[in-house]
Amino acid sequence: MTEQQQRTPHDLPDVSGLTIGILGGTGDQGKGLARRFALAGHRVVIGSRKVERAQQAADDLGADLPVSGAENEAAASGADVVVVAVPWEGHKALLESLREALAGKIVVDCVNPLGFEKGKGAFALPVEEGSAAEQAAAVLTGSRVVAAFHHVSAKLLLDPEVDEMELDVLVLGNDREATDLVQALAGRIPGMRGVYGGRLHNAGQVEAFTANLISMNRRYKAHAGLRITDV
């Protein structure tokens, strides 16, 4: 047994047959995650307010991938796990409109509440609930909310020349079974690993750190992610 295997506290579940819905899948981040999950063999449903726009995003990824488009409600209700990748401005209103469709589901929130100011760059916005993920949990009281995939480069996700993502994904939540499942989903993408990062009330600083990554990437003309050492 390797040292890494000895340190693994428990086995992660088999998630190979899960269907993944992505709300905001017409944007680069959502579309990139859709592409990578589809390449890993998952059926993916991209959600949008207009089914035509969702289907166009699915078609853009290629006819050989198991990706389809649907209205947000259909994408939410028809998936086993739902990823929220919408712009921050529409985050709360969308989740409120889908409360019933998302009831009982694992909802993965990867939204970063950020502002941008000329000459100063990206900065974290204050959120009344503490973070986007905590806002999602406050709205979706019947769902199991997990925070993850905040620091993944959309450009690399979409780049056909990039075979492996080479980064760790911090996974936060209050439900051990749900965080295990999302860690396992992250591990389905070659080069990526899901690492438990704490309970949901720690999501604020994870979301905010995206502003620092944006600054690094601009300075070094890179697509930096995170690697967690010694675990």
One-letter amino acid at 97 equals S
Look at residue 10 in the predicted model and tell me its pLDDT.
67
pLDDT tops 60 at residue 2: no
> Does the pLDDT at position 214 exceed 70?
yes
Q: Which of 53, 51, 89, 43 is nearest to 71 (CA)?
A: 51
Instruction: Name the residue with tokens 């949990």.
Output: 137
18 forms beta bridges with: none
What residues form DSSP beta bridges with 68? 45
Which residues lie closer than 8 Å to 8 by C-beta, 6 or more apart? none
Distance between CA 212 and CA 217 in Å, rounded? 9
Residues found in the chain:
231
Q: What is the DSSP letter of 197?
A: E
Task: Give SS3 for 15.
Answer: coil
pLDDT for residue 3 is more than 60:
no
CA–CA dist 35, 16 (Å, integer) = 15
Per DSSP, the residues of 94-105 read HHHHTTTTTTTS
pLDDT of residue 1: 44
pLDDT at 156: 97
pLDDT digits (tens, 9 = 90+) for 20-38: 999 999 999 999 999 999 9
pLDDT digits (tens, 9 = 90+) for 130-166: 999 999 999 999 999 999 999 999 999 999 999 999 9
Q: Which structure tokens are listed for 173?
A: 């939540």
